[in-house]
Chains A and B, each alone.
Chain A
Amino acid sequence: MCPVYQSQAYNNAGQPGGVNNVSRPVKPAPLPVPPPALKLGQEGFKKVCRTEEDSPCPFPGLSSGVLEMRVKEGSKIRNLMGFAMARMQGEKGVSGVNSSGGGLRQVVFTGSGRAVTKTITCAEIMKRKVGCLHQLTKLRYKVVKEVWESTEGGTSEMTVHRTVPSISILLSKDPLDPQEPGYQPPETLSALWEEREGTEPATASKRSLGPLQYTSFPDCKRVCLGEGASVLPPH
């Protein structure tokens, strides 16, 4: 059998939050923050395979025939959307838009690690194109098993269990339970903020200076100014 080393794989996405626990049984992420991980990828090891461990469906009570789109890092959005839109709108819709007639009622987009952003983008595109979709978003950690092999000859191999954040987005033409955490009613693109502000007095009672808090966020500003400076030399 190949030896299993007690070491840590560097989360190559550069995400310090990706918790690495190596060749230990699956357990909740160690806390509070993972120790600085060793750089492994560059030092004579290459990733041989990567398998996501099976985890239960985040949406209990979902009918089995639901279309599940597994978004990967290299997936092309046009491929994903071309397939998913055709299924949601019904195959027979050759010409014209028949968003209500035929097609599936629900679709789930899932993605983990660096594919999370792409997953959200897919869901957002579909919401915009299909319209009137109820949304349920779930977040969790997913365990990924990676096998790394030494490139400098020899037979050393190591198995790494990594937990990466993953997202599952259920989009449904039928109403969903609004009490469920992560529920989003249709057409909240712009209403999101107004709605939040409406509920604010109940949650943030300590608020004393109103107008100041709605000025732009300093961190955001710093980021963007820095970027601008690097792109455009000063006059």
Chain B
Amino acid sequence: MNSEAHTNSKTRKNSEARKNSEAQMDPVEYTLRKRLPRKLPKRRNDVYVNMKTDFRAQLARCQKLLEGGGHREICVHGLGLAINRAINIALQLQASSQGALQLAANTSTVELVDDLEPEDPDEAGEPMTRTRNNSAIHIKVFYPDAQ
């Protein structure tokens, strides 16, 4: 009980301090809501890697496309934190093919939009949007053409 009250007052103090320091630019508290990344092409051989799905499931999906699906090439895409996982998947695919597969990686910047919604509807805060950039990777995993 005591400790809870203590932490409460502490957090209140903290938020007050923050409010004071940023009083000029951000008087109203906002809720940050992240929008979806913009739509990207989705072909049968595109794999968008995320951090929620099990790694092995995503790897198996790629293997199935290359072996069972009869695709000569697939594209593995990763955004932000998922870049690491996309690279891992591509390197695992390459290693398991005993050198038959090649990788060609491209990088890009993706613009993301965040919505800022005023927390308290009584206050005069306008909903705002804010754009930011995040890095992305696109790895083409393919069998080189054997002439």
Contact surface of A with B, Cβ cutoff 8 Å: 13, 15-19, 28-29, 31-33, 113-114, 116-117, 120-121, 123-124, 128, 135, 137-141, 165, 167, 169, 181-184, 188-189, 192-193, 196-197, 200, 203-204, 206-207, 213-217, 219-224, 226-228, 231-232
In the assembled complex, B95 has its CB within 8 A of some CB on chain A: yes
Q: Are B42 and A167 in contact (CB under 8 A)?
A: no
Give, as a whole number of angstroms, the nearest-CB distance from A10 to chain B: 14
Residues of chain A within 8 A of B34, CB atoms compared: 224, 227-228, 231
Q: Are A117 and B135 in contact (CB under 8 A)?
A: yes
Q: Are A165 and B87 in contact (CB under 8 A)?
A: yes
A188-B107 Cα distance, complex, nearest whole Å: 9
Q: Are A16 and B75 in contact (CB under 8 A)?
A: no
Q: Identify which of B33, B41, B42, B137 contacts A120 (C-beta below 8 A).
A: B137
| Count of CB-CB pairs between chains A and B under 8 Å | 158
Main secondary structure of the interface of B (DSSP, over half): mixed
Q: Are A16 and B104 in contact (CB under 8 A)?
A: no
Residues of chain A within 8 A of B140, CB atoms compared: 181
Give, as a whole number of angstroms, the nearest-CB distance from B137 to chain A: 6
In the assembled complex, B52 has its CB within 8 A of some CB on chain A: yes
Residues of chain A within 8 A of B40, CB atoms compared: 193, 217
Q: Are B107 and A33 in contact (CB under 8 A)?
A: no
Q: Are A16 and B48 in contact (CB under 8 A)?
A: no
Q: How many residues of B contact A (CB 8 A)?
A: 58
Residues of chain B within 8 A of A13, CB atoms compared: 84
Residues of chain A within 8 A of B130, CB atoms compared: none
Q: Identify which of A19, A167, A216, A228 contacts B33 (C-beta below 8 A).
A: A228
Q: Are A204 and B105 in contact (CB under 8 A)?
A: no
Residue of A nearest to B63 (CB): A32
A226-B52 Cα distance, complex, nearest whole Å: 10
Q: Are B36 and A221 in contact (CB under 8 A)?
A: yes
Residue of B nearest to A114 (CB): B84
Residue of A nearest to B70 (CB): A206
Cβ proximity bits B49-93 to A, threshold 8 Å, 1 near / 0 not: 011111110010001000000111101000011011101111110
Given contact pairs A182-B103, A184-B107, A33 touches B56 in the complex (Cβ within 8 A): yes
A120-B96 Cα distance, complex, nearest whole Å: 26
Residue of B nearest to A169 (CB): B107
Give, as a whole number of angstroms, the nearest-CB distance from A199 to chain B: 10
Q: Are A124 and B105 in contact (CB under 8 A)?
A: no
Residues of chain B within 8 A of A137, CB atoms compared: 105-107
Q: Identify which of B39, B73, B103, B138 contacts A214 (C-beta below 8 A).
A: B39
Q: Are A223 and B52 in contact (CB under 8 A)?
A: yes
A107-B117 Cα distance, complex, nearest whole Å: 42
Residue of A nearest to B75 (CB): A196
Q: Are B45 and A204 in contact (CB under 8 A)?
A: yes
A146-B139 Cα distance, complex, nearest whole Å: 29
